[in-house]
């Protein structure tokens, strides 16, 4: 009897290989052949699951977002209930900083995608900004709920604050990535902002 093939596991393995390769050598090193070599499979198999390099790149971009959200969810699960909005935002900031291998890989590869999206029409536009837009919408909704619960001042503009929080986390994360400041110093800055928000 032929052995059943786990197609999702194969796709995941190929995408993970692309992310490892991009984190180690940069997105410019990503080719179908290089990803196949990194994954330990044939180029034909990579082409079977991903018909073009663009399809593979977009799949990896979506996987980066999914994994980042999963790590944030794991951090939240460790919080005692009931979970305050502030504690949830602190966990988001902790995940957003490149302070361990997984979050550093995310930041490094995501930033590389950001640069590429500025010149690559297949990555630009909705394909690239969907993830940050979802985060911004989630934050805005969380802030509105925080206002209803009395945690956040009523005069805070939830949509504008969500945009600011998203920009801060990305910018501060990049400053850690390039060595401008430590993750601890970055968290001090983020805590300062939260102190002002939850005044």
Q: Distance between alpha carbon 66 and the CA centroid of its chain, in Å?
A: 7
Instruction: Give 84-87's long-range contacts (Cβ < 8 A, gap of 24+).
Output: 84/151, 85/142, 85/143, 85/145, 85/146, 85/149, 85/151, 85/152, 86/151, 86/194, 86/198
Distance from C-alpha of 133 to C-alpha of 120, rounded to nearest angstrom: 19
Output the pLDDT for position 172. 92
Query: Percentage of the chain with pLDDT > 90?
Result: 54
Output the pLDDT for position 3. 65
Domains and CATH numbers, the chain: 1-51 (1.10.10.60), 61-197 (1.10.357.10)
The angle formed by the CA atoms of residues 183, 70 and 167, to the nearest 5 degrees, is 50
Using the predicted structure, report yes or no on whether residue 68 has a pLDDT greater than 60. Answer: yes
Contacts of 43 by beta carbon, 8 Å cutoff, 6+ apart: 32, 33, 36
Using the predicted structure, report yes or no on whether residue 157 has a pLDDT greater than 90. Answer: yes
- Where does the pLDDT of residue 95 fall: very low under 50, low under 70, confident under 90, or very high at 90 and above? confident
- Where does the pLDDT of residue 2 fall: very low under 50, low under 70, confident under 90, or very high at 90 and above? low
Decide which of 144 and 88 is more confident.
144
On whether the pTM is more than 0.85, the answer is no
Distance from C-alpha of 34 to C-alpha of 55, rounded to nearest angstrom: 15
Using the predicted structure, report yes or no on whether residue 135 has a pLDDT greater than 80. Answer: yes
């Amino acid at each position: 009897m032929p052995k059943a093939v786990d197609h999702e596991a194969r796709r995941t393995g190929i995408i993970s290989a692309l992310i490892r390769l991009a984190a180690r050598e940069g997105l410019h090193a990503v080719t179908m052949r290089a990803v196949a070599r990194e994954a330990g499979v044939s180029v034909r198999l990579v082409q079977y699951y991903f018909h073009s390099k663009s399809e593979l790149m977009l799949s990896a971009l979506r996987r980066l977002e999914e994994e980042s959200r999963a790590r944030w969810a794991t951090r939240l699960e460790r919080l005692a209930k009931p979970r305050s909005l502030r504690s949830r935002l602190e966990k988001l900031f902790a995940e957003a900083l490149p302070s361990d291998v997984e979050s550093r890989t995310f930041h490094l590869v995501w930033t590389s995608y950001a640069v590429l999206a500025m010149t690559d029409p297949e990555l630009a536009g909705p394909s690239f900004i969907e993830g940050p837009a979802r985060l911004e919408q989630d934050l805005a909704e969380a802030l509105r709920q925080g206002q209803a619960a009395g945690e956040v001042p009523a005069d805070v503009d939830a949509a504008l604050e969500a945009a600011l929080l998203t920009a801060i986390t990305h910018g501060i994360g990049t400053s850690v990535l390039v060595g401008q400041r430590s993750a601890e110093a970055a968290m001090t800055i983020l805590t300062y902002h939260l102190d002002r928000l939850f005044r």
